[in-house]
């Protein structure tokens, strides 16, 4: 395989609500990661950073499930072809969230290979991934 045809490495974008512990743990696990506050001002609206992250082809990691319930933010996910993973629990410490996402690395990579963007998926405490909002559902929102 030539260099031009080599697959691009996956870049994981850690939302600020997850914190630096998750960012540092994923970086130590060997992933290419970006942290919200290193890329955007703290007050940047979700729909704005979602569009940029999607355009850059990065994969969103968050615990902000409200994004999946907000139509403007879902439209941003759909418009920018975002690949989106959220924790399905809100009551975890930083260390627990880091552990969950580290356990889920393989499952998230498999999910990405099998599901075309855009999508929204949930990661449970055991590191398992399940679909939440699929490509068809998200794309219907921008076509209606």
Q: 47: part of which helix (H) or strand (E)?
A: helix 46-55
List per-residue pLDDT tens for the chain, 144 residues long.
445 555 678 999 999 999 999 999 999 999 999 999 999 998 999 999 999 999 999 999 999 999 999 999 999 999 999 999 999 988 899 999 999 999 999 999 999 999 999 999 999 999 999 999 999 999 998 886
| Per-residue confidence (pLDDT) for residue 1, from 0 to 100 | 47
Global pTM value: 0.93
Residues 6+ apart with CB under 8 A from 19: 94, 97
| Per-residue confidence (pLDDT) for residue 4, from 0 to 100 | 59
Ordered domains of the chain (ranges, CATH):
3-143 (3.40.50)
């Amino acid at each position: 395989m030539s260099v031009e045809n080599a697959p691009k490495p996956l870049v994981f974008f850690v939302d600020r609500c997850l914190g630096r512990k998750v960012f540092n743990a994923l970086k130590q696990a060997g992933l290419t990661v970006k942290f919200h506050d290193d890329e955007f001002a703290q007050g940047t609206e979700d729909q704005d950073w979602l569009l940029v992250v999607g355009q850059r082809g990065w994969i969103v990691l968050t615990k902000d499930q409200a994004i999946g319930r907000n139509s403007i933010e879902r439209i941003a996910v759909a418009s920018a072809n975002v690949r989106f993973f959220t924790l399905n629990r809100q009551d975890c410490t930083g260390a627990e969230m880091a552990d969950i996402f580290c356990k889920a690395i393989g499952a998230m990579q498999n999910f990405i290979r099998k599901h075309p963007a855009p999508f929204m998926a949930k990661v449970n405490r055991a590191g398992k991934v399940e679909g939440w909002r699929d490509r068809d559902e998200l794309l219907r929102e921008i076509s209606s």
